[in-house]
Amino acid sequence: MSASANVAVSSEAARQLLADLVTIPSPSGDERECAERLAAFFEERGREVWLDDVGNVRAPADDSVLLTSHVDTVPGDIPVQVEEDGEGTAQLWGRGSVDAKGPLAAMAVAAVETGVSFVGVVGEETDSRGARHLVEDRGAPDALVNGEPSGADGVTLGYRGFLAGEYAVSTDSAHTSRPDPNAVQEAMAWWQAVEAQFAEDDAETPVFEQVTAKPVAFSGGTAADGLSVEASAEVQFRIPPGETAAEIRETVEGELDSGEIDWKTPIPPVMETPRSEVARAFRAAIRRVGGDPRLLRKTGTSDMNLYAGVWDCPMATYGPGDSELDHAPNEHLDLGEFDRAVAVLTDVSETLAEP
pLDDT at residue 344 in the model:
98
2 occurs within a structural domain: no
- Residues 175 and 133 reside in one and the same domain: no
Listed residues 263, 287, 307: the one ending a domain: 263
Burial track 72-105 (b if 16+ CB lie within 10 A, e otherwise)? bbeeeebebeeeeeeeeeebbbbbbbbbbbbbbb
**Average pLDDT score over residue span 133-140:** 97
User: Which pLDDT score, from 0 to 100, does residue 1 have?
Assistant: 32
Q: Which helix (H) or strand (E) holds 310?
A: helix 303-310
β-bridge partners, 166: 234, 262
Q: What is the DSSP string of 27-55?
A: BTT--HHHHHHHHHHHHTTT---EE-TTS
User: What phi-psi label fits residue 55: left (phi over 0), alpha (psi between -120 and 50 degrees) or beta?
Assistant: left
Q: Which residues of 189-215 are buried (b: 16+ CB within 10 A; e: fewer)?
A: ebbeebeeebeeeeeeeeebebbbbee
Percent of the chain with pLDDT over 90: 92
Least confident of 68-77, 197-206, 212-221: 197-206
Kindly state whether residues 187 and 290 are assigned to the same domain: no
223-256 tens-digit pLDDT: 999 999 999 999 999 999 999 999 999 999 999 9
Same domain, 250 and 278: no
Statement to judge: residues 101 and 176 lie in one domain: no
Indicate whether 57 and 185 sit together in one domain: no
CA 320/CA 15 separation, integer angstroms:
13
Under a CB-based contact definition with an 8 Å cutoff, are residues 110 and 157 in contact? no
Instruction: Give pLDDT tens digits for 332-350.
Output: 999 999 999 999 999 999 9
300 and 245 in a common domain: no
Residues 41 and 151 in one domain: yes
Among 263, 282, 297, where does a domain finish?
263
Considering the domain architecture, whether residues 110 and 248 belong to the same structural domain is answered as no
Amino acid identity at 263? W
Q: Three-state DSSP class for 217?
A: strand
Q: Cα–Cα distances in Å, from 185 out to 21, 191, 231?
A: 47, 10, 9
* Domain span including residue 214: 169-263
pTM confidence score: 0.91
Look at residue 305 in the predicted model and tell me its pLDDT. Answer: 97
H/E run at residue 261:
strand 260-263
Instruction: Note whether residue 342 is domain-resident.
Output: yes
102 with 333: CB under 8 angstroms?
Answer: yes
Q: Please check whether residue 229 is in contact with residue 187, taking contact to mean a CB–CB distance below 8 angstroms.
A: no
How far apart (Å, rounded) are the C-alpha atoms in residues 113 and 69? 17
Q: Lowest-confidence range among 85-94, 97-106, 130-139?
A: 85-94
Look up the CATH number of the domain holding residue 230.
3.30.70.360
149 plus 276 within the same structural domain: yes
Q: Could you list the active site residues?
A: 72, 124
Is the pLDDT confidence value at 202 over 90?
A: no
List pLDDT tens digits, range 280-319. 999 999 999 999 999 999 999 999 999 999 999 999 999 9
Q: Are 242 and 231 in contact (CB under 8 A)?
A: no
